[in-house]
Amino acid sequence: MTGWGKSRRLVVLSSSHEIKMSLLPIIQSELGPPESNHDARPWWTCPFHTDSNPSLCILPPFGDRERWKCFGCGEWGDAIDFIRKLHPDFSYHTAREYISSLLGNENSHISRCQDDKTPCFSPPHGLAACQSPPDDAWRRQHLRMVRRCERSLWNDPDHLNYLRSRGLSNATIKAARLGLGVDPPGIFQITIPWFHHGKLRAVNCRRFDWPPKYKCERGSRKGTLYPDVSLDPARPVLLCEGEFDTLLANQEAGQLVQAVTCGSASDASLDTVAALSLCPLLIFAFDSDTAGNKATARLLSFLPHGIRLPLPTGKDLTDVHLEQCYLRRAFPKFLKRVTR
């Protein structure tokens, strides 16, 4: 492997921007110089299918992100996708390391591990560490709680109506397995279970008349995306501020966009940021208030290709949708504009 040093290196995610911008040298170092410059774009013979005419090119930049595409076999992606397709045994991290060695990055974005034998996976400053899932005993106990709370909710028209007043349909409430719990005694809370690969990982609670407004059950492990989905990099991603906005966006615009949340911006982990960094069209749908602006700025520092959904000041996605059927009217137009 060209330029592959003996020492292990950690590429922190702040270098993703730089990697994305450097598709030409990466492809060139793997396939040689472009074989044609038709349409003022560099073209190569595609290594992923039997290609006699150069069919693979670098597309015009999308935002600050570059992508390649083969018009013969239809393969496409970013720098990481290219390297992983060429070297199928590479993990995401290995591909990143390989790319930085191709580019000869020795700058501040890359920190050498103290001990060359120990891979160093401490997250970049400000990202939550990836947590191991809760143990089986916690899961069993909290699955029982989730089931109990689901039953309580469907026997409590008032709280069911609270969720419906946020635009959520019965089918959405059921599929998300929302429930109604009591904690402390006499104080109601909506329970929101977080699953990851089908396994319960956290239970977040929206509390009524008792601070804080949101509180996770003790022993919960966030650091994943909600709901439990594998993101399709070919589809736009809408990163929402909370679970209810996320559920509403999937219910109303799920055919256009994959809505997810990582909880609060401070719950964003290396894993979730890595998954989101692979999605070329990433839209932040945070509230247009001080906290939302701060959260957006924070996530933009890790995901510089993200763009912001322009919501009116002081409103969240649910408010705007309830007022003007936003997710069915203005949002599809916004999406069309940014993908044009």
Footprint of Zn ion (CB under 5 A)? 46, 48-49, 70, 72-73
Closer CB to Zn ion, residue 34 or residue 193?
Answer: 34
Query: Shortest Cβ distance from residue 38 to Zn ion (Å)?
Result: 16
Q: Pick the closest to residue 243 from 311, 168, 335 (CA basis).
A: 168
Q: 69 and 57 in contact (C-beta within 8 Å)?
A: yes
Closer CB to Zn ion, residue 41 or residue 49?
Answer: 49
Closer CB to Zn ion, residue 72 or residue 133?
Answer: 72
Query: Shortest Cβ distance from residue 45 to Zn ion (Å)?
Result: 9
Closer CB to Zn ion, residue 31 or residue 282?
Answer: 31
HSE-up (13 A, CA, CB side) for residue 208: 14
Sign of the C-alpha dihedral, residues 29, 31, 33, 36?
negative
Query: Shortest Cβ distance from residue 202 to Zn ion (Å)?
Result: 41
Closer CB to Zn ion, residue 74 or residue 119?
Answer: 74
Closer CB to Zn ion, residue 48 or residue 62?
Answer: 48
Closer CB to Zn ion, residue 73 or residue 216?
Answer: 73
Query: Shortest Cβ distance from residue 20 to Zn ion (Å)?
Result: 21
Closer CB to Zn ion, residue 46 or residue 103?
Answer: 46
Query: Shortest Cβ distance from residue 47 to Zn ion (Å)?
Result: 8
For residues 99-134, one letter each, b for 16 or more C-beta atoms within 10 angstroms of the residue's C-beta and e for the rest, the string is bbbbbebeeebbeeeeeeeeeeeebbeebbeeeebb
Q: Report the DSSP beta bridge partners of residue 269.
A: 128
Query: Shortest Cβ distance from residue 48 to Zn ion (Å)?
Result: 4
CB-neighbour burial class of residue 60 (10 A; exposed 0-12, middle 13-18, buried 19+): exposed
Query: Shortest Cβ distance from residue 279 to Zn ion (Å)?
Result: 22
Query: Shortest Cβ distance from residue 121 to Zn ion (Å)?
Result: 34
Closer CB to Zn ion, residue 79 or residue 335?
Answer: 79
Q: 72 and 46 in contact (C-beta within 8 Å)?
A: yes
Query: Shortest Cβ distance from residue 278 to Zn ion (Å)?
Result: 20
